[in-house]
A = this chain, B = another copy of it.
Amino acid sequence: MSTFGTHFRVTTYGESHCLSVGCIVDGCPPGMALTEDDIQPQMTRRRPGQSAITTPRNEKDRVEIQSGTEFGITLGTPIGLRVMNENQRKQDYGNKTMDLYPRPSHADWTYLEKYGVKASSGGGRSSARETIGRVAAGAIAEKYLREAYGIEIVAFTASIGQEFLFPPTPTHPTAATNPEFLKMIQTIDRKTVDNFLPVRCPNKEGSERMEQLVADFKAREDSIGGTVTCVIRNCPSGLGEPCFDKLEATLAHAMLSIPATKGFEIGSGFGGCQVPGSIHNDPFIKAPAVPPGQNGASSQVPRPRLTTKTNNSGGIQGGISNGAPIYFTVGFKPPATIGQAQTTATYDEEEGVLEAKGRHDPCVVPRAVPIVESMAALVVMDAVLAQQARQTARSLLSPLKGIVPVQQVQQGV
């Protein structure tokens, strides 16, 4: 369905050729300052047309709050959000050839199989434009997480084609065991990432190589994929619901729901499956003391007393966050729409050659960065509300005495 989340519930609507796209956010805590200015920056980061290597369509994407706030404060009621579809350019998609062919590796054919109705845009909801609602909702979630816990969510391009920021090596089949990588994710921020536009890979040399690679693919009217790594810092411990809604499971769900994704790795990921347990295990150490309110958090929620020396777990153990940085990587395929001619079949099963006119994005990876951040925010927000509910419920019970070791619960989380 078009709904994500249980406690912080986002329902989206809209395809590329209709009047507007948008969403309803249900479950936002009341009493939070919120205006369009809190949402627009990520909308703008998501927009195509930010540089030569992304598609030149200029979508203005101004978000408009319909409900749920008054005098710039959330009421706790559903927040309606809407963005007009202004620049539809139907002619790009509506030409005759396009009408005859389901585009290879696009959603045209499967949407028709599913719904039995052919939308003029092909696979209507499979458009990248559908992600607008997610990004708007994610910005609201992020605001809460930042304000209450000082949570920071930062994504960046980790590879394009075979150009990697941290290429796998025999010593480090996964970046997780590489101290350079662990150091970087401790400090990387969005400003730094955007300094490396258009590719958003925060490394001068790597960034240049990737930019060149994308330019080459553009030149031959081809396309290329890559990966985005995302880190979530200052997350409270205890997030994630056994057994089906482990935190990595809901993150994987969220990420694989982004168009064009091919894979998800938590922490050490697939490379970590090649590392011996004796190295892969993360030993516990006493955590450094963090004064409440650090990182801009308004809450007094204490940090966990233990942390791990290494972080192959990616901040999640047994499906539950341990307070260490959560990080994961998402793979994006090469865009299906390419300028090159392709031999394929028509809707009527006849072989023919399809040539896709129009201007196409040779690589979606840089533009996916804010979408990954937004989906991460939605997952963490939902998990935070679930865990707050549990902790508060428990705190109202009488303290237990006797046999079973029971940890004291901190107030209010």
Contacts and interface: CB of A to CB of B under 8 A. Distances in A.
A59 interface: no
Interface stretch (A46-54, A181-189, A243-251): A243-251
Contact of A286 (B18, B101, B349): B349
A385 interface: yes
One complex includes copies of this chain to the number of 4
Nearest to A30: B115
A21 B392 CA distance: 28
Contact of A31 (B1, B116, B321, B323): B116
Contact of A18 (B70, B126, B237, B248): B70
A12 interface: yes
Contacts of A409: 31, 116
B64 A19 contact: yes
A21 B226 CA distance: 41
Contacts of A119: 70, 75
B109 A4 contact: no
19 contacts: A2-B26, A13-B66, A13-B77, A15-B75, A20-B80, A21-B67, A22-B66, A73-B404, A105-B317, A106-B317, A118-B404, A118-B405, A227-B270, A243-B257, A277-B338, A283-B344, A298-B396, A396-B412, A412-B412
A117 B120 CA distance: 44
A273 to B, nearest CB: 3
> Chain A interface residue count: which class?
35 or more
Interface stretch (A37-45, A141-149, A195-203, A204-212): A141-149
Contacts of A250: 253
Contact of A80 (B22, B114, B345): B22
A82 B82 CA distance: 10
B104 A283 contact: yes
A101 to B, nearest CB: 8
A345 B285 contact: yes
Interface in A263-283: 263-270, 272-278, 280-283
A400 B29 CA distance: 13
A296 to B, nearest CB: 10
A3 B14 contact: no
B269 A305 contact: no
Contact of A306 (B67, B332, B349): B349
A144 to B, nearest CB: 7
A149 B396 contact: yes
B19 A67 contact: yes
A263 to B, nearest CB: 4
A390 B29 contact: yes
B281 A105 contact: yes
A107 interface: yes
A256 B246 contact: yes
A167 to B, nearest CB: 12
Interface string A59-93: 00000111111110111111110100000000000
A413 interface: yes
A395 interface: yes
A276 B105 contact: no
Contacts of A403: 71
Contacts of A357: none
A370 interface: no
Interface string A318-353: 111111000000011111101010111101010100
Contacts of A217: 276-277
B404 A242 contact: no
Given A33-B400, A298-B396, A256 B248 contact: yes
A190 interface: no
A360 to B, nearest CB: 9
B73 A277 contact: no
B272 A331 contact: yes
Contacts of A275: 225, 334
Contacts of A253: 244, 249-250, 252-253, 256
